[in-house]
Amino acid sequence: MQRKEFIKNSCLLCFGVAAGLSLSGCGAIPIYKPTIENKIIYLDEQKMVVNKLNIIQHASLPYDILLVKNEKGFYALRMQCTHQNQPLVATNTGLFCNAHGSSFNLDGKAMKEPAINPLKKYIVTKVGQQLLIQL
Ligand code: FES
């Protein structure tokens, strides 16, 4: 493990403990690299292990996107802090910003300041075996 990565991971753990998270919320979230055309993300559901949470990464996206599955279907959240636009860290219990300590629940609602606005939310449409996210 590189020194920088070690420090980052250690800080995340400390932050999580300080925020009162249980360690059971630290499970790894699968990451997918989708196809993006005409500002639409295409995810092939058959090629995914569709967990409750999946992180979508693509070189053309300025921020990762968290795909959330619940009993009603899917939605997606841009992992961009609404305080000062820093990237967020996702866990199984919410999203956290290491810059100034804001946190968001899995609906995208700001739960801890300084961020007060909710995360950008995307509608996810299922067409056949594909999940489409309109950017
Ligand atoms: S940028 Fe996220 S809390 Fe400030």
Q: Is the CB of 98 under 6 A from ligand 1?
A: no
Other CB atoms within a 10 A radius of the CB of residue 96 amount to: 22
Q: Is the CB of 115 under 6 A from ligand 1?
A: yes
pLDDT for the residue numbered 106 = 96
Q: Residue 97, SS3?
A: coil
* pLDDT above 80 for 52: yes
Calculate how far, in angstroms, residue 112's C-alpha sits from the geometric centre of ligand 1: 10
Cis before 114? omega within 30: yes
Other CB atoms within a 10 A radius of the CB of residue 123 amount to: 11
Closest residue to atom 3 of ligand 1, CA basis: 100
CB 40 within 8 A of CB 134: yes
End-to-end CA distance of the chain, in Å?
34
* pLDDT above 90 for 16: no
Give the pTM: 0.79
How would you label 23-46 residue by residue, b for 16+ Cβ within 10 Å and e otherwise? eeeeeebeebebebeeeebebeee
Looking at domain 24-134, does it have CATH number 3.90.1010.10? no
Say if strands 31-32 and 53-56 run parallel, antiparallel, or are unpaired.
parallel
Cα 59 to Cα 56: distance, rounded to the nearest angstrom: 10
> Which tops the pLDDT comparison, 128 or 85?
85
Q: How confident is the model at residue 110 (pLDDT cuts 50, 70, 90)?
A: very high
What is the amino acid identity at position 69?
K
Calculate how far, in angstroms, residue 120's C-alpha sits from the geometric centre of ligand 1: 15
Q: Residue 8, SS3?
A: helix
